[in-house]
């Protein structure tokens, strides 16, 4: 007795644009996103966004902060980072080029993907800075892309993030809301 051959659908950005709900597309595979985050996650996001906007405005940088904006990495990979900074030309729709700066807030349901798959994806696609915030341990892991590989920045209290020539930002850990 033979078994039926199973075919796996390989989705594209065009398919993705037709879906309802919150999804990411990973190398052609649809990945359902978890329900909306809890309040501590959103408070942290709000606190970091305030700092980023204040500094980008004060520095007269040609960069924008986005949350909940899809990044079309390739025709079969579309993701939505928690926070990202895009410098230079701004997207009219979804982002089609790598952001300069990404923040992911780790949660029990996303921690493994953020630390592994997203880390690799961001590194391979030229995201200059990748920050992972762990609300449980109140820690912020910061990585900077140097010669195609991420290097962990051990201490960021006074570290400047140079987004592009003449545009730098600093994150004040004391102003972040961890709970």
- The two tokens of residue 151 are 């290097």
Parent domain of 156: 35-175
What is the C-alpha separation between 150 and 127, in angstroms, rounded? Answer: 9
The per-residue pLDDT for range 119-139, each reduced to its tens digit, is: 999 999 999 999 999 999 888
What is the C-alpha separation between 146 and 135, in angstroms, rounded? Answer: 27
- The two tokens of residue 125 are 């696609």
The per-residue pLDDT for range 27-52, each reduced to its tens digit, is: 999 999 888 788 999 999 999 999 99
Are residues 100 and 128 in contact, defined by beta-carbon separation less than 8 angstroms? yes
**Domain annotation covers residue 129:** yes
**Domain annotation covers residue 97:** yes
**Domain annotation covers residue 4:** no
The reported pTM is 0.91
**Domain annotation covers residue 14:** no
Number of domain units in the chain = 1
- The two tokens of residue 82 are 């928690």
**Paired sense of beta strands 161-164 and 167-169, if any:** antiparallel
**Domain annotation covers residue 23:** no
**Domain annotation covers residue 155:** yes
The per-residue pLDDT for range 154-163, each reduced to its tens digit, is: 666 556 788 9
Residue 150 has pLDDT above 60, yes or no: yes
Residue 2 has pLDDT above 80, yes or no: no
CATH number at residue 143: 3.90.1570.10
- The two tokens of residue 20 are 């309802």
């Amino acid at each position: 007795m033979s078994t039926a051959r199973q075919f796996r659908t390989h989705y594209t950005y065009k398919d993705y644009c037709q879906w309802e709900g919150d999804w990411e597309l990973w190398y052609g595979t649809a990945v359902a996103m978890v329900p909306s985050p809890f309040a501590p996650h959103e408070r942290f996001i709000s606190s970091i966004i305030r700092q980023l906007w204040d500094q980008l405005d004060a520095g007269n940088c040609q960069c924008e902060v986005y949350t909940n904006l899809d990044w079309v990495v390739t025709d079969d990979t579309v993701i939505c980072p928690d926070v990202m900074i895009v410098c230079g030309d701004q997207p009219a729709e979804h982002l089609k080029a790598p952001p300069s700066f990404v923040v992911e807030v780790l949660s029990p349901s996303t921690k493994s993907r953020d630390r592994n798959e997203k880390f690799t994806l961001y590194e391979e696609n030229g995201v200059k800075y990748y920050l992972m915030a762990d609300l449980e341990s109140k820690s912020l892991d910061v990585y900077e892309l140097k010669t195609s590989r991420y290097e962990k920045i051990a201490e960021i209290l006074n570290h400047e993030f140079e987004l592009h020539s003449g545009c730098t930002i600093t994150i004040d850990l004391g102003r972040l809301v961890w709970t």
